[in-house]
A and B are shown apart, each in its own frame.
Chain A
């Protein structure tokens, strides 16, 4: 996370923005004067989205819940909600004159805190996407014991807040800032600016405001998670050089003084379970590596590792073959090796691969490695499609033959679902990470996506596929609207795992039929990666699309160029609403 001084933050904010640049609106709900927090939020927002304008709107002083309720009305805006102790009971703040919280007031304060949390919880229920933080400031010294000892009253207050945060963290769109991470970047003693609290109603020191703003922006707009991890084997996945000590003597246990490798294997197993692709790139004898992976005490499932590149050639060549097998780009991959030379060799060949050193001789650094990997692979939800991704990759034998006979023998079934469920984040994930069959490369924030789901004039078609080789899960999404006999599609993505099955043809054919559309209007924008969309359009138009959005053609023209559709199609119309007439 980038750290900013106030001067640097103001510099960032004052950089000019081009006319028509993308715009981010963030609603800040807090009970204190926003002051430097608003400045740092805007600056971190500008740093996160270079070239975009960022506006921070804030609510009413001393009314957090009321501000949240007002913020809920801002369609399409993301929200930040900061809860400090003074917001839960003014007697826990420092700008009140209601008397220091004496023990006789403790029961009333607990009731007030519980009541305020309920109101905030209800207000959060009406908002789209919210990053929630707090309390970040220490409780005032209200306990009757010495400072070294917590009182039951203080513990109950923190418990009320913890229960509240644990509950709201389960709601779609609500993200809670990590107190642990905040403690790392902004230690507790350096957070409160009592002088500024009393002078201007702003309680944070500059470093704390900066750190908190940075984490809030990171929470509100998390980066795209990496998709794959390529690991070295000797002295990384296991302790020892396999070719020297043999299969039985490589180790990953506490007894064999190899617990770092054991922890690393367990970490990889957990990543694999949630769908992170895992592969090995090792300078080794292939048969020996297979024997090592067949050991029944391995802590990462061998079935989760695919492919295994064990050979004596350059590791960059192994990495290249792994990228091809996964069909993902270098920027989506992390490579871990204990050898600085191997890391440099791979990095020189693939500068976009994130290269991390496995700290073979420094267990303390292992903690930092795990934290870094959590950051790189962090995501909001685990999808069923992620779990089946490795299995489907193993069963893929490269691009499918495309003959009609072969496709018919697949016994394929395409399911088109028009339901709009905010809790189903797979569609949102697909539109934001698919590059090749992507109509225009548009990326959505979660707030924009939720606002679109709430628009009855917009349809969302989520497409799933399965055949005799197994399910691929949800692999395509199209959004748009129907007007005056025209089917307008403004977002359309298809996972590259589902290529060569004519799913795009099935999708468009069914959408045209459902809308009784006479024309199709596609918001197509060519870019460096969406060649498959160009090829699809060229098949229909009989010439390359001009590249000037939109691309239009009649339903009749499409039907004349649409190949045979080999699969069964099931349509779930629940939620189809006004958007698509059947």
Chain B
């Protein structure tokens, strides 16, 4: 499962870029503080579901 531990290029810049992409794709406002601790695909998915529900 994709996470900061399994993908070497997943650094802080990539993290912000990924969150910005998700915000753009799903047309949602990303609270970066809230997503700061989401460092794996399941964690990000959980937070996106919470925002979009």
Chain A residues in the interface with B (C-beta under 8 A): 5-7, 10, 35-36, 39, 195-196, 199-200, 202, 206
Is A7 within 8 A of B24, CB to CB? yes
Is A5 within 8 A of B24, CB to CB? yes
For A38, the closest partner residue in chain B by CB is: B13
Is B32 within 8 A of A200, CB to CB? yes
- Residues on A with beta carbons closer than 8 Å to the beta carbon of B48: none
Is B32 within 8 A of A195, CB to CB? yes
Q: Is B31 in the interface zone, CB < 8 Å from A?
A: yes
Bound state CA distance, A6 and B24, in angstroms? 8
- In the complex, the number of residue pairs spanning A and B with C-beta atoms less than 8 Å apart equals 33
Given the interface pairs A195-B31, A196-B32, A200-B32, the reply to whether A7 lies near B21 with Cβ below 8 Å is yes
- Residues on B with beta carbons closer than 8 Å to the beta carbon of A7: 21, 24-25
Is B13 within 8 A of A35, CB to CB? yes
- Residues on B with beta carbons closer than 8 Å to the beta carbon of A39: 17
Is A206 within 8 A of B17, CB to CB? no
Query: Quick one: CB contact mask for B1-18 with A, threshold 8 Å, 1 for yes?
Result: 000000000001100110
Q: What total of chain B residues lie within 8 Å of the partner, measured CB to CB?
A: 14
Bound state CA distance, A35 and B21, in angstroms? 13
Chain B residues in the interface with A (C-beta under 8 A): 12-13, 16-17, 20-21, 24-25, 29-33, 36
Bound state CA distance, A5 and B20, in angstroms? 11
Is B33 within 8 A of A6, CB to CB? no
- Residues on A with beta carbons closer than 8 Å to the beta carbon of B33: 199
- Residues on A with beta carbons closer than 8 Å to the beta carbon of B32: 195-196, 199-200
- Residues on B with beta carbons closer than 8 Å to the beta carbon of A196: 16, 20, 32
Q: How far is the CB of A7 from chain B (nearest CB, A)?
A: 6
Not counting A6-B17, A10-B21, a sample of 18 additional A-B residue pairs whose C-beta atoms are within 8 angstroms of each other reads A5-B24, A6-B20, A6-B24, A7-B21, A7-B24, A10-B17, A35-B16, A36-B17, A39-B17, A195-B29, A195-B31, A195-B32, A196-B20, A196-B32, A200-B12, A200-B32, A206-B20, A206-B24
- Residues on A with beta carbons closer than 8 Å to the beta carbon of B20: 6, 36, 196, 206
Query: Which of A35, A200, A202, A206 has the most chain B CB atoms inside 10 A of its CB?
Result: A200
Bound state CA distance, A55 and B21, in angstroms? 21
Cβ-defined partner of A6 (8 Å) among B13, B21, B29, B36: B21
Is B16 within 8 A of A200, CB to CB? yes
Q: How far is the CB of B32 from chain A (nearest CB, A)?
A: 4
- Residues on B with beta carbons closer than 8 Å to the beta carbon of A200: 12, 16, 32
Q: How far is the CB of A13 from chain B (nearest CB, A)?
A: 11
- Residues on A with beta carbons closer than 8 Å to the beta carbon of B12: 200
Is B17 within 8 A of A35, CB to CB? yes
- Residues on A with beta carbons closer than 8 Å to the beta carbon of B21: 6-7, 10
Give the top 8 A-B pairs by smallest Cβ distance, nearest first. A199-B32, A200-B16, A6-B24, A6-B21, A5-B24, A6-B20, A7-B21, A206-B24
Query: Which of B21, B29, B30, B31 has the most chain A CB atoms inside 10 A of its CB?
Result: B21
For A196, the closest partner residue in chain B by CB is: B32
- Residues on A with beta carbons closer than 8 Å to the beta carbon of B17: 6, 10, 35-36, 39
- Residues on B with beta carbons closer than 8 Å to the beta carbon of A10: 17, 21
Query: Which of A5, A6, A35 has the most chain B CB atoms inside 10 A of its CB?
Result: A6
Bound state CA distance, A102 and B31, in angstroms? 30
Bound state CA distance, A10 and B25, in angstroms? 13
Bound state CA distance, A171 and B46, in angstroms? 54
Bound state CA distance, A516 and B12, in angstroms? 61
- Residues on A with beta carbons closer than 8 Å to the beta carbon of B36: 199
| A–B Cβ pairs within 8 angstroms, 25 of them | A5-B24, A6-B17, A6-B20, A6-B21, A6-B24, A7-B21, A7-B24, A7-B25, A10-B21, A35-B13, A195-B29, A195-B30, A195-B31, A196-B16, A196-B20, A196-B32, A199-B16, A199-B32, A199-B33, A199-B36, A200-B12, A200-B16, A200-B32, A206-B20, A206-B24
Bound state CA distance, A5 and B21, in angstroms? 9
Bound state CA distance, A7 and B22, in angstroms? 9
Q: How far is the CB of B35 from chain A (nearest CB, A)?
A: 9
- Residues on A with beta carbons closer than 8 Å to the beta carbon of B29: 195
- Residues on A with beta carbons closer than 8 Å to the beta carbon of B30: 195
- Residues on B with beta carbons closer than 8 Å to the beta carbon of A6: 17, 20-21, 24
Q: How far is the CB of B26 from chain A (nearest CB, A)?
A: 12
Q: How far is the CB of B51 from chain A (nearest CB, A)?
A: 13
For B25, the closest partner residue in chain A by CB is: A7
- Residues on A with beta carbons closer than 8 Å to the beta carbon of B24: 5-7, 206
Bound state CA distance, A35 and B31, in angstroms? 17
Q: How far is the CB of A277 from chain B (nearest CB, A)?
A: 45
For B12, the closest partner residue in chain A by CB is: A200
For A8, the closest partner residue in chain B by CB is: B24
For B35, the closest partner residue in chain A by CB is: A199
For A36, the closest partner residue in chain B by CB is: B20
Bound state CA distance, A5 and B31, in angstroms? 20
Q: How far is the CB of A198 from chain B (nearest CB, A)?
A: 8
Q: How far is the CB of A369 from chain B (nearest CB, A)?
A: 34
- Residues on B with beta carbons closer than 8 Å to the beta carbon of A206: 20, 24
- Residues on B with beta carbons closer than 8 Å to the beta carbon of A195: 29-32
Bound state CA distance, A195 and B33, in angstroms? 9
For B15, the closest partner residue in chain A by CB is: A200
Q: How far is the CB of A352 from chain B (nearest CB, A)?
A: 36
Bound state CA distance, A6 and B17, in angstroms? 9
- Residues on A with beta carbons closer than 8 Å to the beta carbon of B25: 7
Q: How far is the CB of A425 from chain B (nearest CB, A)?
A: 38
Bound state CA distance, A79 and B32, in angstroms? 31
Bound state CA distance, A244 and B8, in angstroms? 77
- Residues on B with beta carbons closer than 8 Å to the beta carbon of A5: 24
Bound state CA distance, A484 and B15, in angstroms? 56
Bound state CA distance, A108 and B49, in angstroms? 49
Bound state CA distance, A200 and B17, in angstroms? 11
